[in-house]
């Protein structure tokens, strides 16, 4: 910022100003504000002729009411869109990532929610859509969307994450989105799956439910019955409005904390069985080939994880002095208990602030006030969840699992900050 | 729903099915499920030839990745848009309402967030935008958006409501949106105003801050210093992404619980003063002309309120039997403690379930399971907040305040349900 009067000629007052922020900032941040906002008021000479002058956009009426019946972001934010990796086969591994480095808070707006589909996005008429529930049940049933909407509803904020987020091999993504953008969080509304199953009546031998999507891939996954009778939901709304087509309109399965692809979109069938289906997506895909040649399968829960989103790869610190380190932490197993941040390449760790409310199986925003001294360094975060699990390093993960697969990489991710302020993916060094 | 086999010929099993839901529903809902889902399986003969048949949209790949870099709702939801009242003067009382009756949960998606502006929506280049902080401060300051973003941040879910929501005179709106759609809720991210003020240093005689927007109306409101030093924020993001233009891009004031227009959008100036400005929007507008000719002014906080959004005006109950009553409650003074629902025209009241988490100055979703016996009746809700304040009836409010003004109507709102299931605004009868 710029002092409105005499700023450049009054060093004492400038120093006082920094000390002021130092005091108040310390009350908020609790640590690491030594140096205050040093650097924040540099290179602002050009603004002195602006306010209180009247800018152009105050001199005539703006856009009239109704120019957008369904709103859109500012034209100045047109670069904040889904991040679509090049060279991914369109109908096999297509994915569009959330631009994590451009977002704040924990809610992902529906327009930027990550997407991942295996046969394209179907356009489904909700009046024609049906959900069939059959197999090891007393009363096989077919539901219309109207039927589903008549059940008692519930709403919860949960994250969703693709299990291939990120890969294990170099080159790793340049930005937080490249690396970890198959991750989003929303408020979901729907009906408890347990309630719907009670309507059909499970037979005693029911141990799995095979869920099938109404897309061209007929994506199919087997869900253990315990999860179906716990917090699983049939979801029709996301952040207040009906699901977007990319998120399964008009109906998807929501399995809080489970890997993304199991949350079957465009849900058309629940087949109650005694054994899993061993479908393509749980055998050739979404399993981890271990160094001994065996495969980890049916891993379900996403382990505790975190990533710093600001500053992160592709960004640049404009000056020394105060910067807030901010990021996201989450765990498929429940609530985040603590996030540690290191600003010295992992030698020491400081506890970050967690933004309330801390919700189970939702993203949690963490923050650490930081005074950057202008020297090259590496920053990183590690999450600890309510089970006591600590997010591992990539080296620890590779030592156990090898890199002969694509999934379930929840390693700590370091960002390198160069003397000039450029932030890059330290794991690519 | 339809039983998959023999449904029409097996009355006993159909009855069993209803009892099943009755039991499980009671466990969830806790009350009022007598009769279960009676009526839900009527008129479904036409679906028997659909699943497990393969619908059209599974027979060819769907829309490819990247067809929407910034997503949009399904074409089947094209009627769910902002609700713009006819005949409102474009640049004086323009408003676009949230379609409350079509939404679930508490988060309003940014595309459907209500808007209200007095001089149109300016298109502001964030690189050119400045915030001036001056008046009774030690160090007048000018901030760029980059400066603002460097402060420590925080995120909170808060509602916003226009103080003219709804009016006092007939005819009242037909739908929940017509009546009460100048109401929305989002996760906001920004910086504590208290922290920014500390940077400038308040003088002892500072009692008010006059906030000015950079729109053609230069909308101006006076904020008591106590609120500025409490939970007031300078906000740049909403539901994760940057503010929409209609919500004040690139910067707005956010005063949790205060009437909507005080949350000045396109914020360009904070003038610290000893007295309020007595601006147009706090004298000729947004004050309540009382029966004795005096004016209530500077009322600030929105009182506790609630509305049933489903079923609500313009909707229709398709059959007798189980229906969930669902709605929203909120209070500018803090958390919602309890919501009561009456299904008999106000003769008796039942306590509704509140969806967790219950957050201060945010919308709270309430729900009541209900068995409709098919007879005409009137339903309504009343909110009680953590201060113990009880939402009044319209008659109580009119007896005290009269109807010679437009603002601060937080009355209980009744919906009439006809024998045929049509829902209308009971206050228009």
DSSP per residue over A156-209, as a string? EEEEEE-S-SS-SSSSPPSSHHHHH-SEEEEEEEEEEHHHHHHHH-B-TT--EE
Beta bridge partners of A131: A143
> What is the ipTM metric for this complex?
0.91
Percent of chain A scoring above 90 in pLDDT: 80
Work out the average pLDDT over B182-199.
Answer: 98
> Could you tell me if residue A420 is inside a domain?
yes
pLDDT in tens, A246-259: 999 999 999 999 99
**Would you say residue B358 has pLDDT above 90?**
yes
Residues of B within 8 A of A367 (CB-CB) are 152-153
Residues B259 and B388 in one domain: no
Contact A369, A30 (CB under 8 A): yes
CATH at residue B223: 3.90.420.10
At B111, is the secondary structure helix, strand, or coil? Answer: helix
The whole-number pLDDT of residue B4 equals 57
Indicate the pLDDT class of residue B167, thresholds 50, 70 and 90: confident
Domain boundary among B236, B270, B296: B296
Nearest residue of B to residue A108 by CA position?
B240
Share of chain A above pLDDT 70, in %: 88
Question: Which of A23, A90, A239 is the closest to B107 by Cβ?
Answer: A239
B83 lies in some domain: no
> Does a structural domain hold residue B92?
no
Looking at per-residue confidence, does B234 or B405 come out higher?
B234
Tens of pLDDT, residue by residue over B106-121, are 999 999 999 999 999 9
Residue range of the domain that includes A319: 305-428
Average model confidence (pLDDT) across chain B:
89
More reliable by pLDDT, A45 or B174 = B174
One domain, residues B278 and B324: no
**pLDDT mean over A24-37:** 36
CB A165 within 8 Å of CB A231: no
Please, what is the angle between helix B193-200 and helix A11-29, to 10°?
150
Residue A119 has pLDDT above 90, yes or no: yes
Is A329 domain-assigned?
yes
From chain A, pick out residues whose CB is under 8 angstroms from the CB of B123.
57, 62-63, 74-75
**DSSP class per residue in B18-73:** HHHHHHHHHHHH-S--TTTTTTTTTT-GGGGGSTTSPPGGGSS--BPTTS-SS---
Residue B79 lies in a domain: no
Q: Model confidence over A289-329: pLDDT tens digits?
A: 999 999 899 999 999 999 999 999 999 999 999 999 999 99
Q: Which of residues B246, B266, B296 is at a domain's end?
A: B296
Q: How far apart are the first and last CA of chain B?
A: 35
Please report whether residue A360 resides in a domain.
Answer: yes
Q: What is the pLDDT of residue A14?
A: 34
Mean pLDDT value across residues A179-186: 97
Residue A4: which pLDDT band, with cuts at 50, 70 and 90? low
| Same domain assignment for residues B272 and B143 | yes
| Pairwise CB contact (< 8 Å): B125 & A21 | no
Question: Residue B346 — pLDDT band, cuts 50, 70, 90?
Answer: very high
pLDDT at B21: 42
* Dist. CA A426–CA A428, nearest whole Å: 5
CB B418 within 8 A of CB B374: no
Half-sphere CA count of A89, side-chain side, radius 13 A: 5
Are B327 and B287 part of one and the same domain? no
Query: What is the pLDDT, as a whole number, of residue A47?
Result: 40
User: What average pLDDT does this structure show over B290-317?
Assistant: 95
Give me the pLDDT at residue B105, please.
98
Q: Among all residues of chain A, which has the CA nearest to that of B32?
A: A152
A280 and A341 together in one domain: no
Q: Is the dihedral of CA B14, B19, B20, B22 positive or negative?
A: positive
B85 occurs within a structural domain:
no
Q: Is the pLDDT of residue B32 over 90?
A: no
Contact B380, B412 (CB under 8 A): yes
- From B421's Cα to the closest Cα of chain A, the distance in A is 15
For residue B190, whether the previous peptide bond is cis, meaning omega lies within 30 degrees of 0, is no
**Cα separation, A367 vs A327, whole angstroms:** 7
Q: Do A369 and A33 touch, CB atoms closer than 8 A?
A: yes
Domain count, chain A: 2
Distant-in-sequence, close-in-space partners of A306: CB < 8 Å, separation ≥ 6 = A327, A328, A329, A330, A336, A339, A366, A381, A382, A383, A391, A412
Of chain A, the end-to-end C-alpha distance in Å amounts to 35
CB A232 within 8 A of CB A253: yes
Answer whether residue A115 shows pLDDT above 90.
yes
Q: How many CB atoms lie within 10 A of CB A127?
A: 10
Burial of A85 (0-12, 13-18, 19+ CB in 10 A): middle
In a shared domain, residues B258 and B312: no
B290 with B142, same domain: the answer is yes
Confidence of residue A285 (pLDDT cuts 50, 70, 90): confident
Residues A275 and A372 in one domain: no
User: Is A288 in the same domain as A319?
Assistant: no
- pTM greater than 0.90: yes
Are residues B292 and B313 both part of a single domain?
A: no
pLDDT at res. A169? 86
Residue B246 lies in a domain: yes
Q: What is the mean pLDDT of residues B58-80?
A: 95
Flag if B237 and A104 touch (Cβ within 8 Å): yes
pLDDT value of residue A52: 56
Q: Higher-confidence residue: B96 or B49?
A: B96
Option in A51, A61, A65 nearest B216 (CB)? A61
What single-letter DSSP state applies at residue A345? T
Q: Which residue of B has its CA nearest to A147?
A: B1
Tell me what the mean pLDDT of segment A256-264 comes to.
98
- pLDDT tens-place string over residues A345-391: 999 999 999 999 999 999 999 999 999 999 999 999 999 999 999 99
* Paired strand residues for A94: A117
Q: What does the pLDDT average to over B394-404?
A: 92
Task: Decide if pLDDT at B199 tops 70.
Answer: yes
Interface probe with B: pick from A27, A104, A371, most Cβ of B within 10 Å = A104
User: Using one digit for the tens of pLDDT, what is the confidence trace for A188-225?
Assistant: 999 999 999 999 999 999 999 999 999 999 999 999 99
The chain-wide mean pLDDT, for chain A, equals 89
> Which stretches of A76-146 are assigned E, i.e. beta strand?
94-96, 115-117, 130-135, 141-144
The reply to whether residue A240 touches residue B37, judged by beta carbons under 8 angstroms, is no
Is B44 close to A192, i.e. CB distance below 8 A? no
What pLDDT is stored for residue B264 in this prediction? 98
Residues of A with Cβ-Cβ distance to B72 under 8 angstroms: 70, 111, 244
Nearest to A70 among B24, B63, B111 (CB): B111
Q: Which band of pLDDT confidence, cut at 50, 70 and 90, is reported for residue B404?
A: confident
Q: In the prediction, which pLDDT does A331 show?
A: 98
Q: What is the pLDDT of residue A1?
A: 60
Q: Per the CB < 8 Å rule, is B44 touching A246?
A: no
Residue A390: CATH number of its domain: 2.60.40.650
Residue B66 pLDDT > 90: no
State whether A246 and A374 are in the same domain: no
Q: Given pLDDT bands bounded at 50, 70 and 90, which one contains residue B91? A: confident
Which of A269, A296, A323 is the endpoint of a domain? A296
Burial of B374 (0-12, 13-18, 19+ CB in 10 A): middle
Same domain flag for B362 and B393 = yes
- β-partners of residue A147 are none
């Amino acid at each position: 910022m710029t002092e409105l009067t005499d700023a450049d000629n009054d060093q004492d007052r400038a120093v006082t100003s920094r000390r002021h922020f130092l005091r108040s900032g310390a009350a908020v941040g609790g640590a690491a504000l030594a140096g205050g906002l040093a650097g924040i008021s540099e290179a602002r000479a050009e603004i002195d002729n602006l306010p209180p002058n009247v800018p152009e956009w105050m001199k005539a009426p703006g856009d009239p009411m109704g120019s957008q019946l369904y709103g859109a972001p500012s034209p100045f934010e047109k670069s904040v869109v889904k991040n679509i990796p090049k060279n991914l086969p369109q109908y096999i591994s297509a994915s569009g990532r959330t631009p994590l480095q451009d977002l704040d808070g924990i809610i992902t707006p529906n327009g930027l929610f990550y997407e991942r589909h295996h046969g394209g996005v179907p356009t489904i008429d909700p009046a024609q859509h049906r959900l069939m529930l059959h197999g090891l049940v007393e009363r096989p049933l077919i539901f219309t969307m109207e039927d589903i909407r008549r059940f008692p509803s519930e709403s919860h904020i949960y994250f969703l994450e693709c299990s291939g987020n990120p890969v294990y091999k170099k080159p790793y993504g340049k930005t937080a989105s490249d690396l970890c953008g198959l991750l989003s969080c929303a408020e979901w509304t729907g009906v408890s799956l347990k309630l719907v199953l009670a309507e059909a009546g499970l037979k005693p031998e029911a141990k799995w439910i095979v869920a099938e999507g109404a897309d061209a891939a007929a994506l199919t996954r087997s869900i253990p019955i315990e999860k179906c009778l716990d917090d699983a939901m049939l979801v029709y709304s996301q952040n207040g409005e009906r699901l977007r087509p990319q998120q399964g309109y008009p109906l998807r399965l929501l399995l809080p904390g489970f890997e993304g692809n199991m949350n079957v979109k465009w849900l058309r069938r629940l087949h109650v069985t005694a054994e899993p289906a061993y479908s393509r997506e749980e055998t050739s895909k979404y399993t981890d080939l271990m160094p001994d040649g065996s495969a980890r399968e049916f891993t379900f829960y996403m382990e505790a994880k975190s990533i710093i989103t600001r500053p992160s790869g592709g960004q640049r610190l404009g000056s020394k002095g105060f910067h807030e380190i901010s990021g996201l932490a989450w765990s498929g197993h429940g609530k985040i208990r603590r996030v540690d941040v290191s600003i010295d390449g992992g030698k020491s760790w400081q506890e970050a602030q967690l933004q309330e409310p801390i919700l189970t199986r939702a993203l949690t925003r963490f923050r650490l006030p930081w005074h950057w001294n202008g020297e090259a360094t590496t920053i990183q975060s590690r999450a600890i969840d309510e089970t006591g699990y600590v997010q591992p390093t990539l080296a620890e993960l590779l030592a156990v699992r090898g890199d002969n697969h694509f999934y379930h990489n929840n390693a700590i991710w370091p960002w390198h900050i160069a003397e000039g302020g450029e932030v890059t993916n330290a794991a690519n060094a």
